[in-house]
Amino acid sequence: MEVREMGDTGVLLPEVGIGTWKFSGGVEPIQRAISLGATHVDTAEMYGTEDVVGQALKGRRDQVFLATKVSGSHLRYDEVMSAADGSLARLGVDHIDMYIVHWPNSRVPIAETMSAMEDLVEQGKVRYIGVSNFSVRELKEAQGAMTKHRIVSNQVLYNLRERRIERDLIPYCKETGVTVVAYTPLDSGALSDKPLIRGRQGVRALESVAGEVGKTKAQVALNWCLSRENVITIPKANRVEHVEENCGASGWMLSSEQVRILDEAFG
């Protein structure tokens, strides 16, 4: 598994991790991911999967970069602190590697939220702070509220079909040392083994490129995400064989021409 530095922290994260939104696979897929080097495991308080992630990590905690999220409806100072303690308990760990604001909430001052996040770092409960679903404007506001630490990642929707972040968010994150973590990189399975009904030009291009490189559609779709600098992925996989397939997206790269073909076909 190839790795990329998270911002300028010196921490190396796998190009392909494992996400657990709508996850129902039990401990085996997570444990297989870890054994294959997909050691970035992502969950959230609202997913209802922290318990199973905690079970999967037993005896493996030191091998994993563990990320979880505080709900966007729990962003008052006391709520953040309480949510973090709840996540730590459900996960059965003594610290979270990256604690993430799941989505922005305009009803709560961002300075109040980020003060709590920074205090969690000071207390040793959290190592790094991230955000999710933040626009450039919202990210700038959050960054401006930081006094002791910094935001190192922004977890956002990104795949061949959802590319709105390319215009401004990806460049801004690269400029400011914020790693882009692409969630739903397989478009909820539509870019893997599920029949693609819409976007026939994209389907043909994806299948053609997959044939050229001798990879599956899912592997090509994930590798396309990785063709962007400063981007890593966290696909969900309920089955061990899908974990193995996803991990096979790392360690090679599409050619610039193949990337261009996919860009145009899905643009």
DSSP per-residue string spanning the chain: --EEE-TTSS-EEESB-EE-TT--S-HHHHHHHHHTT--EEE--GGGT-HHHHHHHHTTTGGG-EEEEEE-TT--SHHHHHHHHHHHHHHHT-S-EEEEEE-S--TTS-HHHHHHHHHHHHHTTSEEEEEEES--HHHHHHHHHH-SS--EEEEEEE-SSS--GGGTTHHHHHHHHT-EEEEESTTTTTTTTTSPP-S-HHHHHHHHHHHHHHT--HHHHHHHHHHTSTTEEE--B-SSHHHHHHHHTTSS----HHHHHHHHHHH-
Closest C-alpha among 168, 126, 171 to residue 151: 126
- Residue 183 annotated in active site: no
Token pair for residue 171?
């460049």
Please state, as a whole number, how many other Cβ atoms lie within 10 Å of the Cβ of residue 106: 8
List 47, 99, 172, 183, catalytic entry: 47
Q: Which residues are catalytic?
A: 47
